[in-house]
């Protein structure tokens, strides 16, 4: 009687290991750089929140005829005033460059910088309560 061998040969196992090595070598670099992608996405999120905060503040000021009023209208005459209009202030790890917003409704492109990595993004600042 002949015995039937069950299992994989050494050659088959080596081929599988080589294929897994090739797949790992091509996929690994994609996962290594996710940190910078996450930082960029966070920066875009903060910039979007900044633009929304400026718009909401301007709307509140329009209701009060641009008279600074607690809970409705905060005076914003510089891009750097962003921290006063965002609930909770400007998140840690971000700075906003100075940029004049001369009059009510004046729009200017403001720059926000992520201190860890030096990435920058822009948002529209709107003068209000002036």
From 50, 121, 52, 114, select the one nearest 83 (Cα to Cα).
50
Rounded Cα–Cα distance for residues 30 and 52 (Å): 33
Percent pLDDT > 90 in the chain is 70
Q: Is residue 43 part of a domain?
A: yes
pTM: 0.75
Tell me whether residue 11 is in a domain.
Answer: no
Decide if 113 is inside a domain: yes
pLDDT digits (tens, 9 = 90+) for 19-45: 999 988 888 877 777 888 889 999 999
Structural domain boundaries, residue 86: 34-126
pLDDT given at position 123: 96
User: How many domains is the chain partitioned into structurally?
Assistant: 1
**6 within some domain:** no
- 67 lies in some domain: yes
- Note whether residue 97 is domain-resident: yes
Does residue 19 fall inside a structural domain? no
* 72-106 pLDDT tens trace: 999 999 999 999 999 999 999 999 999 999 889 99
Strand locations in 30-119, DSSP E? 94-96, 107-114
């Amino acid at each position: 009687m002949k015995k039937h061998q069950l299992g994989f040969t050494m050659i088959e196992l080596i081929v599988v290991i080589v294929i897994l090595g090739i797949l790992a070598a091509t996929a690994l670099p994609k996962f290594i750089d996710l940190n910078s992608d996450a930082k960029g996405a966070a920066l875009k999120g903060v910039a979007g929140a900044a633009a929304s905060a400026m718009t909401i503040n301007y709307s509140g000021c329009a209701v009060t005829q641009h008279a600074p009023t607690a809970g409705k209208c905060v005076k914003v005459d510089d891009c750097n005033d962003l921290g006063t209009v965002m609930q909770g202030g400007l998140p840690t790890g971000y700075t906003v460059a100075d940029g004049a917003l001369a009059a009510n409704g004046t729009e200017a492109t403001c720059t926000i910088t992520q201190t860890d990595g030096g990435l920058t993004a822009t948002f529209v600042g709107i003068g209000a309560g002036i």
